Amino acid sequence: MAADDRPLVHESYALGERAMQELRGPFTAWLDENVQVDEEVGSAAVVEALTVGAGGLLVVRPGASLTRLTPPDVEALVEQVIPAMVEDTETPEPDEMAEDLQAIWYQLLTFLGETGRWQGSAGDLETCLVLVAGEPPEITEVLAAAAETVEEGEEDEAVLASFPVRAAQAVLAHIGDGIEVPDDAELAGDDVTAILAAFEHRIPITADDEGEPQDLEDVPWLRQVVLTMLDLDLLDGEDETLLAPGPEADGWLDPAPEPREIRRHLVGRFILDDPTTIEGGFSIADAVLPTILASAMTGNPFDDAALNDLVDSASALGPAAGVAVEELRERLSDLAVFGILSESAPWTVARGFWPAIAAAAEEGEEDDPFGDLFGDGEPHWLENVMGQLGVGDDQMQQIRNILGGR
């Protein structure tokens, strides 16, 4: 930005003082209690820098309100005001100073949200936090870092008792040394019914209305387990008319590294992969669920209000987008019934599942990147749904920011 175009921060200090008048005292006290501020800097200097920045913002965006900032306000702050402040100081470390100033605004936004002083929408707050936080980490990095904190014993306790592992055990118990199967399906209907009858589960799906055995396709979660077992060599289906235990089936429940890795992928893929699109296609759960789980694993679980914001934002773009988000709600509900997620919002996931989720997310990124919402790629539902609805770039960016804020 040219010198004569940028906000004259030093001439706008009075504007900043008025904007910070009611916030200065409470924010200083909140900083002292909640944030470890460098002793050489001190809370007073932080508030002073914030006051200067607020004045500069009000020069660029005269209608802005600190308790109701919009994404365009924060974009102006990050792209114009903070660079001007950095330039005025002539600091030898401009990038570091810019990051420090953005961190100050992040703390202000956090303070406003936590103390009930935020007057804008929850979606705008999340988006503004993302904009001042800078480049977010990759979703796989977030998940992997959380998974590293889980002890093997804690993982084994959760995974060995999990729904997908018990389902896999039921499949292996039923097939024994091997069973004949139709050449056009992984399991015959009679076998599906027998496995369901022997498997203790909360899903009342055993037969159709006439009491006849079901096809495997009629039980998506069981088909998902069977297909994953085939892929992990827990099952051998090379002979199209015979299904037998695979080479990894022996000892796959042992508390050892290799069996543990197999269980991680079985459980992780059961959680992350939407069974309705396991052989192709796309659902919003495929794109959004890793972000929701990462939020839970980092101590910021999605609640109903966050999902409502997502629904409200998508609904404005047409019925197809609203339906897509409702499908996400159904997927969360299914995972709760399976005992993976909490029974209701805020959506949390037991620590023992974290390594499985991290392993499956890394595998998914390598095999078929879906453009996770923390990364550079766009969610497929924006590409496939929003584009068809004729949504403009500004609307798409707003929804992308809301999603990316989690």
Tell me the per-residue pLDDT of 232-248, one tens digit each, with 9 for 90 and over: 999 999 888 899 999 99
Q: Summarize pLDDT for 28-69 with one digit per residue, the tens.
A: 999 888 877 777 678 888 888 999 999 999 999 999 999 999
pLDDT at 85 over 80: yes
Single-letter amino acid code for the residue at 391: V
DSSP 185: S
Q: What are phi and psi of 245, to 5 degrees?
A: -60, 140
Shared domain check, 343 and 249: no
- Quote the tokens at residue 185: 């399906």
Yes or no: say if 108 and 66 are a contact pair by the CB < 8 Å rule.
yes
**Does any domain span residue 265?**
no
Question: pLDDT grade, residue 176 (50/70/90)?
Answer: very high
| 17 to 20, 24, 51: CA distances (angstroms) | 5, 9, 6
Q: Summarize pLDDT for 187-200 with one digit per residue, the tens.
A: 998 999 889 888 87
What is the pairing mode between strands 179-180 and 235-236? unpaired
Shared domain check, 234 and 206: yes
| 345 to 52, 295, 303: CA distances (angstroms) | 40, 13, 5
Shared domain check, 127 and 39: yes
Shared domain check, 28 and 147: no
Question: pLDDT grade, residue 376 (50/70/90)?
Answer: very low
Domain boundary among 134, 168, 188: 134
Domain boundary among 75, 101, 134: 134
- Quote the tokens at residue 356: 């499985």
Shared domain check, 86 and 62: yes
Shared domain check, 279 and 252: no
Residue 120 lies in domain: 9-134
Res 388: pLDDT: 34
| 173 to 160, 167, 179: CA distances (angstroms) | 16, 10, 11
**Does any domain span residue 23?**
yes
Distance CA 291, CA 143 (A): 9
Nearest residue to 399 (alpha-carbon basis) of 334, 320, 332, 312: 312
**Does any domain span residue 266?**
no
DSSP percent split of the chain into helix, strand, coil, nearest 5? 60, 5, 35
What is the count of structural domains for the chain?
3
pLDDT at 372 over 60: no
Distance CA 382, CA 359 (A): 26
Single-letter amino acid code for the residue at 81: V
pLDDT at 1 over 70: no
Through-space distance between the first and last CA atoms of the chain, rounded to whole angstroms: 31
Shared domain check, 120 and 46: yes
**Does any domain span residue 115?**
yes
Q: How many helices (H) and strands (E) are present in the chain, helices listed first?
A: 19, 3
**Does any domain span residue 124?**
yes
* 3-state class (DSSP) for residue 349: strand
Res 217: pLDDT: 87
**Does any domain span residue 197?**
yes
pLDDT at 323 over 80: no
Q: Work out the average pLDDT over 211-215.
A: 65
Higher-scoring residue by pLDDT: 213, 74: 74
DSSP 210: T
Res 42: pLDDT: 81
Res 136: pLDDT: 60
The answer for residues whose C-beta is within 8 angstroms of residue 125's C-beta and 6 or more apart is: 109, 112, 113, 118
Shared domain check, 294 and 250: no
Yes or no: say if 292 and 341 are a contact pair by the CB < 8 Å rule.
no
Domain boundary among 78, 102, 134: 134
**Does any domain span residue 267?**
no
Shared domain check, 400 and 282: yes
Yes or no: say if 381 and 282 are a contact pair by the CB < 8 Å rule.
yes
Shared domain check, 113 and 170: no
Burial (CB count within 10 angstroms: exposed 0-12, middle 13-18, buried 19+), residue 59: buried
Nearest residue to 178 (alpha-carbon basis) of 246, 232, 230, 224: 246
Distance CA 222, CA 204 (A): 13
Beta bridge partners, 180, equal 242
* 3-state class (DSSP) for residue 62: coil
pLDDT at 22 over 80: yes
Shared domain check, 116 and 14: yes
Shared domain check, 198 and 331: no
**Does any domain span residue 179?**
yes
Q: How many CB atoms lie within 10 A of CB 290?
A: 26
| 171 to 45, 52, 112, 227: CA distances (angstroms) | 64, 66, 52, 11
